[in-house]
Structure 1
Amino acid sequence: MREAFQEELEKFLDKLIMLSNSANESLHKAMKAFEEDDNELAHEVITDDLRINALSVEIERDAYRLIVLQQPVTGDLRKIFTVFSANSDVERIADHATSIARTVIRRNPNEEKIERLDDIVKQMGEITQEMISDVIQAFVNGDVKQARKIAERDSELDEFQQQIYGIASRSMESDAEVIIGGINYIGVANNLERIGDYVTNICERIVYLNSGDIVELN
């Protein structure tokens, strides 16, 4: 009976990893769509989000089922609650990737771009994707030290976001033709910064799961 429960628990954990990989792939597509003005790819992100939402709901249902039917002991219960909480964070990461995709779809392909912001947004996207990949690995390995290091990178995203605010604001003040484009850059930066916050939340879950300590890393 216990062995069967452990197998179910492993499958439950695997679903979170699958969800995280899917969310990261959506972010990759959204950033590529933004950089290349690829509406078709942006629509693909929106379609993918429906599947991600369905898997997230499945994970939530599994959590309830495992708790009610299996009556897990303290250590296993901690795992279930950790996955349950992280599931919500990952689903929101995918939502922000979808928001970036929607920005691509609604923007005018002829709108004026601000080249300096293209570079900064690209760097933000790369850091965010690295953070997601690394946090998946830290979760799999139960690596508390790595989780703490990943959370520290959130400050890089905050700094880039402030740079984008400053450059976009000055550009919009001096040139009315870049106002809509500037707003779009700010919107994408906001989405990436929020994704960084959700990755940091997952890092906190990893610390809790493997040490029992409730910490704030943001």
Structure 2
Amino acid sequence: MRELFHADLKALGDQLVEISGLVREAMDKARTAFENADVELAEAVITDDARIDYLQTSIDEKAIELLALQGPVAADLRTVVAALRMSSSLERMGDLARHIAQLARRRYPDLVLPESVREDFRQMADHCVALAGEVEQLLTDHDTTHAQQIVKLNAAINELHAKNFKTVNAADWNASGAMTADVTLASRFFERFADHGVSVARKVTYLATGEWEPVIEID
């Protein structure tokens, strides 16, 4: 019976890896659609989000079944509860990638952003794709050095997010109201994507070490 239970726990972990891979692909495609006004790629991100939603529901249903029928305790209980919470964070990351793709679709054939902020957003998007890759690797091998990288990437994204808000509030900002709203929303979507990645990193770190915050080595 316990062998079956631990096989179910492994299956939960495998599904988390699968959904994290889909999230990484979604952000990578959304980034390209956003930067290049690629409406076909944006549509693909929007459509494919249904698969992420399905996997999250599947993970949650299995986790609840294990809680109800197996009555796990101690480390096993923490693992099941963490799977529930991580699946929610990953699903939200998929939603945020979809929101970015929807911005690209809404403004097609125009680009979403004015020239003055495109480089900052390119960096922000690159960091988000890298962060999603670190999340996938963390869930695959549980090596907490990936969690450290996620926290570092999140810090860089937060700096760019703050810079974007200063830019749109500067006296020389002269973009239209619609474009200002797009810049504000896009920055928030990237920033929240990274925050959910940190949430996953904290849970894996806790399961691996008993500590909530990944330890960041000072260079």
TM over 0.5: same fold?
yes
Q: Which amino acid aligns with 1:93?
A: M
Aligned to 2:102, the other structure's residue is in SS state: helix
Aligned to 1:153, the other structure's residue is in SS state: helix
- Say whether the 8 Å CA contact 1:147–1:204 is kept in structure 2: yes
Whole-angstrom CA distance in 1 between matches of 2:147 and 2:93: 17
Q: Which amino acid aligns with 1:192?
A: F
1:29 aligns with 2:29: yes
Percent of residue pairs identical:
29
Residue 69 of structure 1 corresponds to 69
Aligned to 2:72, the other structure's residue is in SS state: coil
Q: Deviation at 1:195?
A: 0.8
1:195 aligns with 2:209: no
- Give ranges in structure 1 of 5+ residues lacking alignment: none
Over 3 Å counting, the alpha-carbon distance change for 1:103 and 1:71 in structure 2 is same
How big is the alpha-carbon RMSD for the aligned residues of Structure 1 and Structure 2? 2.2
Over 3 Å counting, the alpha-carbon distance change for 1:123 and 1:39 in structure 2 is same
Over 3 Å counting, the alpha-carbon distance change for 1:112 and 1:4 in structure 2 is closer
Q: Deviation at 1:113?
A: 4.6
Residue 150 of structure 1 corresponds to 150
Whole-angstrom CA distance in 1 between matches of 2:105 and 2:29: 13
- Say whether the 8 Å CA contact 1:121–1:185 is kept in structure 2: no
Q: Deviation at 1:112?
A: 8.2
Q: Which amino acid aligns with 1:207?
A: T
Over 3 Å counting, the alpha-carbon distance change for 1:185 and 1:47 in structure 2 is same
Q: Which amino acid aligns with 2:98?
A: T
Summarize deviations over 1:104-145 as a string: whole Å, max 9, x none. 111253468522311111111111111111122223322234
Residue 139 of structure 2 corresponds to 139
- Say whether the 8 Å CA contact 1:169–1:182 is kept in structure 2: no
Over 3 Å counting, the alpha-carbon distance change for 1:175 and 1:116 in structure 2 is closer
- Say whether the 8 Å CA contact 2:37–2:110 is kept in structure 1: no
Summarize deviations over 1:83-104 as a string: whole Å, max 9, x none. 1111110000011111111111
Q: Which amino acid aligns with 2:118?
A: D
- Say whether the 8 Å CA contact 2:104–2:111 is kept in structure 1: no
Whole-angstrom CA distance in 2 between matches of 1:133 and 1:174: 34
May I ask how many residue pairs the two structures share in their alignment? 215
- Say whether the 8 Å CA contact 1:128–1:192 is kept in structure 2: yes
More helix by share: 1
Residue 88 of structure 2 corresponds to 88
Aligned to 2:103, the other structure's residue is in SS state: helix
Whole-angstrom CA distance in 1 between matches of 2:5 and 2:64: 14
- Say whether the 8 Å CA contact 1:143–1:206 is kept in structure 2: no
Whole-angstrom CA distance in 2 between matches of 1:174 and 1:104: 22
Residue 180 of structure 1 corresponds to 178
Residue 211 of structure 1 corresponds to 209
Q: Which amino acid aligns with 1:148?
A: Q
1:99 aligns with 2:127: no
Aligned to 1:175, the other structure's residue is in SS state: coil
